[in-house]
Amino acid sequence: SLFRLKDLELAKLGDSDVHVKMLAAPINPADINMIQGTYPILSPLPAVGGNEGVGEVLEVGRCVAALKPGDRVIPASTGLGTWRTQGVFPEETLLKVPGDIPVLSAATLSVNPCTAYRMLTDFQSLAPGDSVIQNAANSGVGQAVIQIAKAFGIKTINVVRDRPDLPKLVERLVALGADHVVTEEMLRKPEMKDLFKSIPKPRLALNCVGGKSTTEMLRHLQPKGTMVTYGGMAKQPVMVPVSAFIFRDVRLRGFWMTQWKKDHAQDQESLASMMDALCQLIRRGQLTAPACTEVPLQDYKAALEASMKPFTSSKQILLL
């Protein structure tokens, strides 16, 4: 086991530091990958796990101007180590979030909804009525894509793996605003032609699976459409028929939220306007936290195990 629950001394509060009481932090696939060492970011060990979460400011150093006790904060970048009850962090590693955002929404805000928002806005200029296709549609990002697209008036075609409780999952995604939910197998069936009688073929495909799933999604992309890969859960390469490149001029791009944040470190405006837009959607009830299971910190082992099970449709959230 790579994990232990440990009591650590709290660092002394420096002039530019913020003492935070953590409230809730999710377990995401990337958190596990980081710990397994299969992620591009390696934390010097021993390290505290967790890249996402929400906390409350208890105390600030004397040079801290933007935050005050009682403020809610989330991590500004990857690698903060959110699976802890309290921490002392440099001010620039934290972002203030409005206090009226539900705790679970704030705890799951900095990675998945941001990823969904950027992928929907940065690669194709989509207009209301356009459509998007995505695989792993019940993932944290997938659920955010469905809801944000719906708010923008964009139709979604959502691909999921076949499973025992498929009707239940379809119902849940449709309730979130999914226009169509199809299984991987259905992607190559003639019925897909009927589906495209009512909505246009997608100009954007979002891929976090790889392998066959990707090739099947690409078939339905419009000429000059873009496929953005942001994960590879099948651990297989992205396979593209040569004809898709030559005759349909499809574009293949990649996206990594951590890199986006690095690239925009000097551009606080773009980060602020995205956070603003997402918080507005949350307030209006158009963007909810993913389906969550709340777990007290001492039960972290069960939570980690549950987060690695196949077909999990619920995100494990550590309550701190």
Among 39, 117, 230, 300, the active-site one is 39
Tokens linked to 177? 């605003």
Identify the three-state secondary structure at position 55. Answer: strand
Residue type, 281: L
End-to-end, the C-alpha distance of the chain in Å comes to 21
Active site (annotated) includes residue 39: yes
Edge-first strand order for the sheet with 180-183 is 180-183, 155-160, 131-134, 204-207, 226-229, 251-254
Residues 6+ apart with CB under 8 A from 219: 187, 188, 244
Give how far the C-alpha of residue 197 lies from the chain's centroid of Cα atoms, to the nearest Å.
31
Q: Hunting for tokens 């620039």 — which residue is that? A: 92
Quote the tokens at residue 274.
């995205």
Active-site annotation, residues: 39
